[in-house]
Amino acid sequence: MVLLQLLVVGSVIGGLITWLLRSLMCKAKNEVMNKAILVTGCDSGIGHELAKHLDSIGFYVFAACLDTSSEGAQRLRIEASPCLRLVNMDVTNEDHVRHALDMSQKTCQQDNKVCMDWSTTLVFAYVVNLNG
């Protein structure tokens, strides 16, 4: 009898924990649904995985690839949701960077997405030159 009571109490507690975690996950996903982000280096490595992850949690992702016909870019095209958009961008080319930023901002305005402008192209170029 005591075992049955423990089983019922455990099931109720487990159900409450599951419900709480599920509601928290849904809330977190709703908080990013209208936000967009530009991720560089999406052909492979960390940029590729970051773009997939951000797409999976609900961000509108602009995945910047050196070559949008590369194997990694094509995997993103197949595996990701329609909220991930491939962008051809060489981070060492100022015209590419400016075009990608302009395109992402225009898309955000058209789709009513929050597009954060974290830096100017000069700051972006400084970071690239510093790390390049």
One domain for residues 39 and 68: yes
One domain for residues 62 and 121: yes
Cβ atoms of 72 and 47 within 8 Å: the answer is no
One domain for residues 6 and 43: no
- Give the model's pLDDT for residue 106: 85
One domain for residues 45 and 6: no
**Predicted TM-score of the model (pTM):** 0.65
The mean pLDDT value of the chain amounts to 77
Return the structure tokens found at 130.
């510093």
3-state class (DSSP) for residue 78: helix
What digits encode the pLDDT tens for the residues 18-40?
A: 665 565 554 455 566 778 888 88
pLDDT in tens for each of the 132 residues of the chain? 777 667 666 676 766 676 655 655 544 555 667 788 888 889 988 889 999 988 888 888 999 999 999 999 999 999 999 989 999 998 888 898 888 888 888 887 787 776 655 555 555 566 556 655
Distances (CA, A) of 114 to 6, 60, 118: 48, 9, 12
Q: How many domains is the chain built from?
A: 2
One domain for residues 44 and 27: no
3-state class (DSSP) for residue 61: strand
One domain for residues 55 and 8: no
One domain for residues 37 and 9: no
3-state class (DSSP) for residue 1: coil
CA-nearest of 50, 51, 132, 37 to 90 is 132
CATH number at residue 37: 3.40.50.720
Cβ atoms of 112 and 34 within 8 Å: the answer is yes
Q: Is the dihedral of CA 75, 76, 82, 86 positive or negative?
A: negative
Domain that holds residue 7: 1-31
One domain for residues 91 and 113: yes
